[in-house]
Structure 1
Amino acid sequence: MKLIEGMTLAHSWLMACEHLLAKPGWVDTTVVLHIKEPTRVRQQDKAVADTLDGFLIAHEQYNSHTVAETIFPGYEYVRRGLDGVYKDYPDEIFPRIKGHPQFRHWGTYAHRLLRRTDGDGREYNPLAELIKKMRQKNPVRASYEIGLGFGFELATYDDDEDRGSRLGGPCLSHLSFKLIDKKVHLTAMYRSHYYIQRAYGNLLGLARLQAFVADQVGVTAGPLVCHSTMAVLEHGKEWGWKKGEVEPLVAACRDKTRETTPSVDTHR
């Protein structure tokens, strides 16, 4: 078990990669990232992200923004506002994603958060319902008891669809939002996490989702926690790069944190 406390997404991701490099087989269980300011992007953070994206693109993989969009359609939110998230993404964008050859295994998170069907066959929006509850001025006190305090839960694993698959399917299993001191906190649970191909993009998508919820509730974003029940620094033919390329990538990212000025900040 490893708890990693970092300031930003890139800072936390890089420390996790360095931790995994020291583990046998570059694998560890119960790796927990606690990111204090998930929406903050320092100059050196951008340099780390650009280095990783350059590596992924050179190996014909998706960049971090593309991975992030599978968790939350931030691009649609910027372009079209709330309708872009609640209507345009599920009605226009997702039908195109369904035709992708990897659709069964990846890319369905955002849709699962935005469109569900209840037991009576009625369609509803889980994310909108969650935000509606968080906006309530007088929430029922009993719902915050027995260790469940301040809890708002969204599940992404669907027993009906996913129970028959041994491999593939959603690695992001659960999202838990909390509203504490006018800040939205988010905890994400991953059943497995691949730190080169997916993890940074996953963190970016989660931070965008968290910022969206905070914006809709009228508060600010608090810390982001990401719990990987299995974390891997992956390599091999199935990934598209050799083991010998991983350590130089992590070292290059670390060098970027030394080359840039820590005091220059932006916000995502």
Structure 2
Amino acid sequence: MISTVEDPCAAEDPQVRSAVDEVLTGGRRNGVRIQSVDTVAGTIFPAEMYADTGLAYGLGLGPEELGKLDASAADLYASYTEMLPILTTDTANKSGTYFGRMVSWPGRTGGGINQIADRITRLRRSRDTNRAQRNLEDIAVGGEAELLADCAGLQVYAASDRRERGFPCLVHVDLTLYEGRLSMAATYRHQYLVTKAYGNLLGLSRLLGFLAQHSGFEVGELMVNATFADAEQGTYTKQGVADLLAAARDGS
């Protein structure tokens, strides 16, 4: 299943958000752990921890403003990695978190490779040289990645890896620069369409906005490829899923 968001940083549709929030009551339902939209989104980009300066990278940015912009990112990375030891005490986070793997690979503790900072540095080089097209940036999330200085990321899976569900469902994020716009493609091996999909889209959109802001490019499209899309009818029933879709479409 492939989903495309043409304007990832546009305001949310309150009708759709309300319909999703209505069914995502915290706790467990039929053995499935239910989390709020913001909790799911925060696993990909913890927006509540980011002090947005309102500044964006560009050749006209003065040293003081650039310092503020860079400090806002550095504070986010530091605050999150300090929290990692606590976050990983949760059974669901025993292998790390998505954002943790992005800012401190492999994501269980601080001090790992910061893929986000590295990608921003590379993208800024393109911005500084007026390079409007580039497809050399990716962010490894799943598998065992060898993140080398001259390689954006190589994911290697063991032949015995037969996991279909569980962390990480999100395995790869690819960044493409085209005509001065930064777009993102994310691959999920398993996507829960009711309990996770909206939060995942929101988190990825916020991450893309952050990357664009700190590299000086306009925001392009977001594309999500779910190799297995789960409508969760076993959790919410076929009629429950239909009711959710109706509420999102017409507010009934």
Task: Give the TM-score normalised by structure 1.
Answer: 0.70
Find the aligned partners of 2:75 and 2:14 in 1 and give their Cα distance.
26
Residue in structure 2 matched with residue 82 of structure 1 by the alignment:
73
Find the aligned partners of 2:203 and 2:211 in 1 and give their Cα distance.
12
Find the aligned partners of 2:11 and 2:203 in 1 and give their Cα distance.
14
- Asked whether 1:113 is paired with 2:102, we answer yes
Match of 1:103 among 90, 93, 100: 93
Q: CA deviation at 1:232?
A: 1.5
Residue in structure 1 matched with residue 193 of structure 2 by the alignment:
195
- Asked whether 1:253 is paired with 2:248, we answer yes
Answer yes or no: is the 8 Å Cα contact 1:157–1:174 preserved in 2: yes
User: How many aligned residue pairs are there?
Assistant: 210
1:131 aligns to what SS in structure 2?
helix
Match of 2:237 among 238, 242, 245: 242
1:84-136 superposed Cα distances (whole Å, 9 cap, x missing partner) = 421101112x222111122247x61100000127xxxx832111001100000
Structure 2 gaps, min length 5? 29-33, 53-70, 146-155
Moved more, 67-76 or 177-186: 177-186
- Asked whether 1:156 is paired with 2:141, we answer yes
Backbone CA RMSD of aligned residues:
2.7
Answer yes or no: is the 8 Å Cα contact 1:162–1:169 preserved in 2: no
Q: CA deviation at 1:162?
A: 7.5
Find the aligned partners of 2:139 and 2:92 in 1 and give their Cα distance.
23
Residue in structure 2 matched with residue 38 of structure 1 by the alignment:
8
1:196 aligns to what SS in structure 2?
coil
Moved more, 55-64 or 169-178: 55-64
Residue in structure 1 matched with residue 184 of structure 2 by the alignment:
186
Answer yes or no: is the 8 Å Cα contact 2:103–2:112 preserved in 1: no
Residue in structure 2 matched with residue 215 of structure 1 by the alignment:
213
Report the residue type matching 2:118 in the other structure: E
2:50 aligns to what SS in structure 1?
helix
Residue in structure 2 matched with residue 130 of structure 1 by the alignment:
119
Find the aligned partners of 1:95 and 1:165 in 2 and give their Cα distance.
28
Q: What is the aligned-residue identity percentage? A: 30
- Asked whether 1:62 is paired with 2:35, we answer yes
Answer yes or no: is the 8 Å Cα contact 2:45–2:207 preserved in 1: yes
Structure 1 gaps, min length 5? 1-30, 260-268
